[in-house]
Amino acid sequence: MKDELWGVILVVAIFMGFMMGYSLPPMFEVGMIGAKPDQSIGIKTDVNEDMQQYYKELQED
């Protein structure tokens, strides 16, 4: 019984470790974790003013 419990704990710990390792790199990339105070959080895009206006006009239609 005691060995089965440790086996379940081990499987759950391995799965949780895998999921944390899978989800942390995107959080670093967008700045949710480890961002400097002067940085904004989110994905940086290179959409200029013309593109923003174009998309605003599309939403109005």
pLDDT tens readout for residues 12-54: 999 999 988 888 777 777 766 666 666 666 666 677 888 888 8
Among 29, 58, 56, 57, residue whose Cα is nearest residue 44: 29
pTM of the model: 0.46
More confident residue, 36 or 60: 60
Contact 50, 40 (CB under 8 A): no
Q: Cα–Cα distance between 25 and 30 in angstroms, integer?
A: 9
Fill in the DSSP letter of residue 38: T
